[in-house]
Amino acid sequence: MGERLDHLRRQVCTGLAFAALFGGGAVLALTVFPLVSLLTPAGPTRWARNQRLVHWLFRGYVWSLRRLGVIEVTVDGADRLRAATGVMIVANHPTLLDVVLLMGLVPRSQCIVKGALWDSPYLGRLVRGTGYIRNDLEPEALLGACRDSMARGESLIIFPEGTRTTPGEPPRFRRGFANIATMLEADIQLVTIICRPLTLVKGEPWWMVPSRRPRFHVQVGERLDASQWMGYKYRSLAARKLVRQLEEYYMECLADG
């Protein structure tokens, strides 16, 4: 009985949490973001302020989820992640909450977002206000935007899988992140996200909360130096090797995690 009650309670809290995320997001989009826009000229300064705003919001959001007992979160190496400015942060992508967790840990984060969101009524304001990078830019423009962003000291968060992991399958990485790293000679900070029992996976409705409270474990891993992918005869070979190397790395991390 106690277990069932706990399950129901977490189901209700998860629903509330989603309502808070979307409702709260909408309210903020209509109040705080326009206020920042009013007080800050367009461009990098405004983006930086909005990025910090998103950081504190997500941080508060994760804190509330923990307080409500919906999830548990342990982070190994949070300081190193916070210190990883101006680099690419690469992570696996098991759940819907990953980006919220990471942005709550990194004060100024940048990401590459579906171009269609620019026309969305409330997320559009968010992605424009934070200066996030559209994924439908021409390759040169996309690389340029990533270069500028990291040069400003933002952490560029990338999930190389492109979408959430299919449960039970090893992560399959696309090559885009490796192209950016090899073209821009950027360092990579690796992060592994483990969620047990799994929740909020691809294709599962939010109210399917697992029988036990999900535990998120964020492990800040190695920092890879860009020199590893420099000095190849062809950049394309370095990018391919990096993809294979990280697929193997995550297979190992997820196997013993």
Q: Which is nearer to other proteins, 45 or 236 (CB)?
A: 236
Q: Which is nearer to other proteins, 196 or 235 (CB)?
A: 235
Least separation, in Å, of the C-beta of 93 and other proteins?
A: 20
Q: Which is nearer to other proteins, 7 or 175 (CB)?
A: 175
Q: Which residues of 151-168 are buried (b: 16+ CB within 10 A; e: fewer)?
A: ebebbbbbbbbeebbeee
Least separation, in Å, of the C-beta of 24 and other proteins?
A: 38
Q: Which is nearer to other proteins, 44 or 176 (CB)?
A: 176
Q: Which is nearer to other proteins, 47 or 159 (CB)?
A: 159
Least separation, in Å, of the C-beta of 92 and other proteins?
A: 21
Residues in the chain: 257
CA gap 46, 54 in Å, rounded? 12
Other Cβ atoms within 10 Å of 198 Cβ, number: 15
Least separation, in Å, of the C-beta of 64 and other proteins?
A: 40
Least separation, in Å, of the C-beta of 148 and other proteins?
A: 18
CA gap 84, 107 in Å, rounded? 10
Other Cβ atoms within 10 Å of 86 Cβ, number: 15
CA gap 87, 189 in Å, rounded? 7
Binding site for other proteins (CB under 8 A): 139, 175-176, 179, 183, 234-237, 239-240
